[in-house]
Amino acid sequence: MVDPQVGDPEGTPPRPAPEDLPLPSPDVEGDHVAALVARQEDLARVQMAGALSSAAPAIQWYPGHIAKAEKALAENLAKVDLVIEVRDARIPLATGHPRLRRWIGTKPHLLVLNRRDMVTPAARQAWDAWFRSQGQTPWWCDAKAGTGVKQLQQAAIRAGEALNARRRGRGMKPRPVRALMLGFPNVGKSALINRLVRQKVVESARKAGVTRSLRWVRLGQDLDLLDAPGVLPPRLDNQQAALRLALCDDIGQAAYDTEAVALAFVRLLAALEPLDAAGVEPRLLERRYGMALTPLADAIGAAAVAAQGDLRFRESALLMPSQAPVMPASPDAHAWLAAAAARHTSGDTLRMAQRVLDDFRRSLLGPIALELPAAPASGAHRSGDQHREHQDRQEHLESHKQLGGS
């Protein structure tokens, strides 16, 4: 499993090479098929972890208003009873702040995964089980449509009941619960507050850096909300997590090279396609833009050599050729972007790169989860071969930690 300190995008575990990932030993034919499927998914995860080219400019963003807001935040933390942390459902780990636990201490903490509509039901189920296995109950919301907002409000009020019970015990009058709305830029904090209040009381837009100062908002007689600007680590050491932030528009556009991020997104889609829960439809880019994504010529040769030289690949192909795992070949993202630009943007690759990113951010490519938990929670109910497959995959993946749980 990944580190129980959920949402530490700065910790980067070592990435094993595909040939270093062993197959679990199958006892029966059904288990063998399950192991091959699991290996195929593991190979996809390894390729996914390297989506951002090492030659791409580093992604860094820490504007002055965030540094100023963090100082004001520290001064106001003592005034709040409850912390409502908002993350992006597409990247639950990348939008978890590594300093969160230090900030909130022993205060009650509600975890909100916003934009639930932008990931598949299978991804929600996987993340829900994973967070619960870590002792954290996630609250799934869509601030834009209002889904899950009422339940979140009720959970916040319940969390404050203990506070008012103590006040009554001291002969003091109850007061509204003071809750801090905290999270990365552009994860939907202000939109969530507006939905809770049922009117536009704070500025909200689908871009990072709109909220620049702290502001209290009264929600009826039971809840006071403190809207804070998005907070980021001063340095984004984990560039794969930074890539996901850029893709989801959770950091300012000045922080990254648009073409480099779009190229990484094309590679990431290819790596995510074998993972059903991710939601990437087969030949998604070809169906959307009319241009097929082809593998790099040298990647095809490298994959063939690796497959021929790996006894486990030869074994599986001899036993069940139709079920043998396929070594993922790196897609030729540069060629695809150039071809798509020639067709749609008069050869302007920057405009085409921006179009692809905008289409993803507006859900025009469908619901896509850019992060998935490393393994299902052990408490999930399965039977027969499904149960054995689950056990094999969990042991296998736990022994090879992947980047940020992806």
Which residue in this structure is represented by tokens 């039901």? 121
pLDDT over threshold 60, residue 309: no
One-letter identity of residue 306: A
**Above 60 in pLDDT, residue 385?**
no
The 3-class secondary structure across the chain, one letter per residue, is CCCCCCCCCCCCCCCCCHHHCCCCCCCCHHHHHHHHHHHHHHHHHHHHHCCCCCCCCCCCCCCHHHHHHHHHHHHHHHHCCEEEEEEECCCCCCCCCCCHHHHHCCCCEEEEEECHHHCCHHHHHHHHHHHHHCCCCEEEEECCCCECHHHHHHHHHHHCHHHHHHHHHCCCCCCCEEEEEEECCCCCHHHHHHHHHCCCCCCCCCCCCCCCCCEEEEECCCEEEEECCCCCCCCCCCHHHHHHHHHCCCCCHHHCCHHHHHHHHHHHHHHHCCCHHHCCCCCHHHHHHCCCCCECHHHHHHHHHHHHHCHHHHHHHHHCHHHCCCCCCCECHHHHHHHHHHHHCCCCHHHHHHHHHHHHHCCCCCCCCCCCCCCCCCCCCCCHHHHHHHHHHHHHHHCCCCHHHC
Backbone torsions φ then ψ of 152, nearest 5 degrees: -65, -45
Is the overall model pTM greater than 0.85, yes or no?
no
What are the tens digits of pLDDT across the range 337-372?
999 999 999 999 999 999 999 999 999 999 999 999
What is the model's pLDDT at position 396?
40
Q: Which domains does the chain have, with CATH numbers?
A: 18-59+238-405 (no CATH), 64-227 (3.40.50.300)
pLDDT value of position 252: 86
Placement of tokens 């939601």 in the chain: 279
**Cβ proximity of 157 and 223 under 8 Å:** yes
How far from 28 is each of 34, 130, 265, 322, 357, CA to CA, in Å?
Answer: 10, 29, 38, 17, 45
- Nearest Cα to Cα of residue 186 among 109, 258, 72, 95: 95
Residues 225/230/235/240 CA torsion (nearest 10 deg): 110
CA-nearest of 98, 92, 186 to 406 is 92
**Predicted pLDDT at 18:** 39
- Residue 345 tokens read as 């943007």
Structure tokens, 282: 């087969």
How many CB atoms lie under 10 A from the CB of residue 360?
A: 21
pLDDT band per the 50, 70, 90 thresholds, residue 50: low
Over residues 15-33, the pLDDT tens digits come to 444 344 444 443 434 444 3
Q: What is the mean pLDDT of the chain?
A: 75
- CA–CA distances in Å: residue 170 to residues 37, 44, 106, 162: 61, 58, 21, 13
Measured in degrees and rounded to the nearest 5, phi and psi for residue 85 equal -95, 125
Banded pLDDT at 84 (limits 50, 70, 90): very high
Per-residue pLDDT tens over the stretch 126-185: 999 999 999 999 999 999 899 999 999 889 888 877 778 888 888 888 888 888 888 998
**Max Cα separation, the chain?**
78
Q: Is the pLDDT of residue 218 over 90?
A: no
User: How many percent of the chain have pLDDT more than 70?
Assistant: 66
Question: Using 50, 70 and 90 to split pLDDT, how confident is the model at 68?
Answer: confident
By mean pLDDT, which of 228-242, 306-320, 331-345 is the weakest? 306-320
State the pLDDT confidence band at 107, using cuts at 50, 70 and 90: confident
CA distance 384 to 391: 11
